[in-house]
Amino acid sequence: MGRGDSSAPLREDSPAVARALPVRLRVNGVLRELRLDARVTLLDALRERLGLTGTKKGCDQGACGACTVLADGRRVLSCLTLAVTCEDRDITTIEGLGSEGAPHPVQRAFIACDAFQCGFCTPGQILSAVALLAEGRAGSDAEIREFMSGNICRCGAYPNIVAAIRAAAGEAGRAGV
């Protein structure tokens, strides 16, 4: 797309000197101290600096939802968030939801319902679905679709994604959560 990558060299006419700023991030409950150029997005900080590559870079312009993470419990797009603005915020990525042995109920539902094909958008879909359930927006298939519209799936796994969220909502309901 011709978009400047944040790892690209600085333009020589840059008036401000790029300098690393101390940034304290709390990611999946762990405090991480970094020094970052102010231009680094939360997405790049997670992937390139912290090695948390579960969060995906799709469009990198706020259109696809693949980079969705939770900030203080709310779903946001990490590609349009500068990491330096996240100081002292609680960030949750797909790595923080569950573990291989004990996946999150929404992760289990995605597996049970075969809610993905290539899997690239899946971490964003799952974070978004977790937030959707917390927001109480799983009242109907139409409501699920509307409140998942910020997450694009190029494989078109939408029917199974909706089914997975419906199943996870039912499970949460039965558990009295």
Partner 1 sequence: MRAFEYLRASDVHHAVATAAAGQEAAYLAGGTTQVDLMKDGVLGPDVLIDITRLPLRGVVPDGGAVRVGALTTMAELAADPLVSRRLPVVSESLLLAASPQLRNMATVAGNLLQRTRCRYYRDLSCACNKRQPGSGCGALEGHHRMHAILGTSQHCIATHASDLAVALVALGAAVRVRGVNGERTVPLTQFYLPPGDTPDVENTLGRGELITAVEVPLLPEGARSGYLKVRDRASYEFALASAAVALVITDGVIRDARVALGGLATVPWRSHAAEDALRGAAAAPGTFAAAAEAALSGASPRPGNAFKVELGRRTVVRALSTVAGRQA
Which residues of the shown chain bind partner 1 in the complex (CB under 8 A)? 3-4, 6, 10-11, 14-18, 21, 37-39, 41, 60-62, 65, 68, 74-77, 80-82, 84-85, 128, 131-132, 135, 137, 145-147, 149-151
Give min distance, CB of 55 to partner 1, in A.
13
Q: Which is nearer to partner 1, 10 or 111 (CB)?
A: 10
Give min distance, CB of 91 to partner 1, in A.
13
Give min distance, CB of 13 to partner 1, in A.
8
Give min distance, CB of 10 to partner 1, in A.
6
Q: What one-letter code names the amino acid at 74?
A: R
143, two tokens: 């409501």
Cα 104–Cα 71–Cα 58 angle in degrees, nearest 5: 80
Backbone φ and ψ for 107, nearest 5 degrees, come out as -65, -45
Q: Which is nearer to partner 1, 34 or 80 (CB)?
A: 80
Residues 6+ apart with CB under 8 A from 93: 27, 28, 46, 52, 54, 55, 69, 123, 127
